[in-house]
Structure 1
Amino acid sequence: MKQTGSLFRRFLKIHFLFIFLPPMILIFFSAFFGGSGIPKKEMNPLNLFYITVLLFGLIIVAFVILSWLFFLKLQRRLSHLQEVMSMTARDSAFPKPVSVQSDRMDEIDQLGSSFNWMMQQLEDSRKRAYEEELLRHRLIANLSHDLRTPLTILRGHVTRLNHESVSLEGQLSLTEMDHTITRVGVLMDDLLSYTLLTSGKYPFEPASTDIGRLVRASVAAWYPVFEEKEIQLDVDLPADETFYWEVDPKWMTRVLDNLFQNIIRHAAEGKYANIVVDAAKEQILVADRGPGMDNSSYERGVGMGLSTCDYMLNKMMLKANITSNDKGTRVAIGRA
């Protein structure tokens, strides 16, 4: 950017000329017109001293006033620029461009021009990121929807082969194929749910929620599933003790559904589930005696579901502390 003028150079030029020019003029007139037109009896040293002091006093006063006006104008321009920048940092919004005088283009105008260019680049980057995010969400949603058809066809062929006479090894392979198709379908559902959630398709509507009552309702809905899998339920849900969180009941129920579903899918062999509502600590505890999250089954199937839960919990100002080993997994949900 070419600089057409320098603010401080102009300041120094004007002020130094103002300081040295009047004394030079005074010396010039004193040298050439010193005695003409002025009675010599009035030009005594005392009067000359007073005139000199008065002249230099006027010069100093004028210099101070001129400097004060210059810095006042400078302070106003810098304050305006600082106010625009502060508004950007405070409101997280892109402001209107700062006015710049291209014919003057001093240091402050260059700073304003650079600020305008930076805001334009940030605005363009945000637009590109938003468009890329929309494209990614649309692509994932379309893929999740389109892949259901081939999975359904594969499951149909597996079901047909199950009615055919095949060897024991073939029957085991068909069973593994059926389980794999089911697992892929679940992963696609989790991916689609996470994509819709992060794109704002699931509205967040927080309300004061009775957590004890909500957990009891979720456990009651899942009880037949645990019973079918022969999983022993150890619950501690006191009816006379509860606490309230400012959360979305639908989101909180979805988080619990995901945790219970992980027990069914990956920890059913432990035949145990512990669900506790601790009103004193304001916590929800969900534990199992499965193989732990280091097990390959957990690694393949629980990642996207936990990412969805983490997103929901963060949005609701909550946090899940997970501890896992080969003896089981424990999830404690509490305030962040």
Structure 2
Amino acid sequence: MKQTRSLFHRFLMGHFLFIFLPPIVLIFFSAFIGFSGVNEEGLNTLNLFYIILLLFGFIIVAFVVISWLFFLRLRKRLTRLQETMSFSANNNSFPKPVSVQTDLMDEIDQLGSSFNWMIQQLEDSRKRESEEELLRHRLIANVSHDLRTPLTILKGHVTRLNKESMSLEGQNSLIEMNHTITRVGDLMDDLLSYTLLTSGKHPFQPTSTDIVRLVRASVAAWYPIFEELEIQFDVDLPPETTFYWVADPKWMTRVLDNLFQNILRHAAKGKYANIVVDVEKEQIIVADRGPGMDHSSYERGAGIGLSASKYMLKKMKLKADFISTENGTRVVIGRA
């Protein structure tokens, strides 16, 4: 930006004039008096000393006053700019532009103009990011919805082929195809659920929630499924005591559903699942004896569902600690 005037140049010019102009005027004045023939003996030595002392006193006072006024005005302008910048940090809001003199701009005005330009760039960037986020959510939702139809058709053909007579190798291939189609459908459901969750489509309604009661209801819903698959389901819930979290009951149920579903998808071979509610530590513990999260089965599918669970827990000011080895995975849910 082209500089039209300099704040410090004006400051130095003003001091130069007040320091050097009075002596120069005095010299010319004395020369004029001498030229006009005025008797110089009229000014005795004492009066000359007082005049010089008065002149230097005036110069010092003028220097202090001008410096004080200059820095006071400079401080006010910088303080106004600093308050505008710190307002957004203290109130978690976007900063507002500062007023700038566009006709004659000094260094402070140039700083304010650069600050306004930065705000405009940030606003444009935030607007583009919001539009891209909305477009991405809409694209994921549409793709997830559109892929359901071909998956349903494929699943129907696999079911029809199961009724046909074929070799054992062909039947194994059909079983693997059916599992793959089911897994892709589950991944699409997780992706759609996570997209809707992060875009605010699933409302967050926190309330004081009885955690033991919520976990007991979730265990009762999943127990028949684990029993059907012959998975040992050990449950340790306190019969009388409980604790409360300010959380969304539907979101907490979805988190537990995701953990139980991951056990069925990736740790069913361990034939064991355990859930414990520790009232003293206010923790929910879910464990299995599967191959661990480093196993390729987890890498193929558990990421989206776990990301959704972590997002919901963070929103409820909770956290989940994962301890995974080749002998199983242990998830501890507690306060953040």
Instruction: Tell me whether 1:74 sits opposite 2:93 in the alignment.
Output: no
What amino acid maps onto 1:22 in structure 2?
P
Structure 1 stretch displaced more, 184-193 or 318-327: 318-327
Distance change >3 Å, CA 262–CA 32, structure 1 → 2: same
Tell me the SS of whatever aligns to 1:242: coil
Write out aligned runs for 1:212-291 (5 A). 212-291=212-291
Is contact 2:34–2:40 with CA below 8 Å preserved after alignment?
A: no
Measured in 1, the distance between the counterparts of 2:58 and 2:292 equals 88
Tell me the SS of whatever aligns to 1:3: coil
Measured in 1, the distance between the counterparts of 2:84 and 2:5 equals 24
What is the deviation of 1:83?
Answer: 0.9
What amino acid maps onto 1:247 in structure 2?
A
What is the deviation of 1:168?
Answer: 1.4
Instruction: Tell me whether 1:316 sits opposite 2:316 in the alignment.
Output: yes
1:204-254 CA distances to partner (integer Å, 9 max, x unpaired)? Answer: 121221211111111111111111111112111002222221211111111
Structure 1 stretch displaced more, 186-195 or 228-237: 228-237
| TM-score, scaled to structure 1 | 0.95
Instruction: Tell me whether 1:335 sits opposite 2:329 in the alignment.
Output: no
Tell me the SS of whatever aligns to 2:65: helix
Measured in 1, the distance between the counterparts of 2:328 and 2:94 equals 50
| TM-score, scaled to structure 2 | 0.95
Where does the alignment leave 5 or more consecutive residues of structure 2 unmatched? none
1:81-126 CA distances to partner (integer Å, 9 max, x unpaired)? Answer: 1111111223343333222212221111111111111111111111
Measured in 2, the distance between the counterparts of 1:122 and 1:160 equals 57
Aligned twin of 2:127: 127
What is the deviation of 1:52?
Answer: 2.1
Tell me the SS of whatever aligns to 1:233: strand
Aligned twin of 1:177: 177
1:245-303 CA distances to partner (integer Å, 9 max, x unpaired)? Answer: 12111111110011111112222222211110011111110011122222222221211
Tell me the SS of whatever aligns to 1:246: strand
Tell me the SS of whatever aligns to 1:147: helix
Write out aligned runs for 1:1-336 (5 A). 1-34=1-34, 43-336=43-336
Structure 1 stretch displaced more, 324-333 or 135-144: 324-333
What is the deviation of 1:36?
Answer: 5.9
Distance change >3 Å, CA 34–CA 243, structure 1 → 2: farther
What amino acid maps onto 2:217 in structure 1?
A
Measured in 2, the distance between the counterparts of 1:37 and 1:204 equals 98
Length, aligned pairs only: 336
Tell me the SS of whatever aligns to 2:90: helix
Measured in 1, the distance between the counterparts of 2:134 and 2:186 equals 23
Identity %: 77
What is the deviation of 1:34?
Answer: 4.4
What amino acid maps onto 2:324 in structure 1?
S
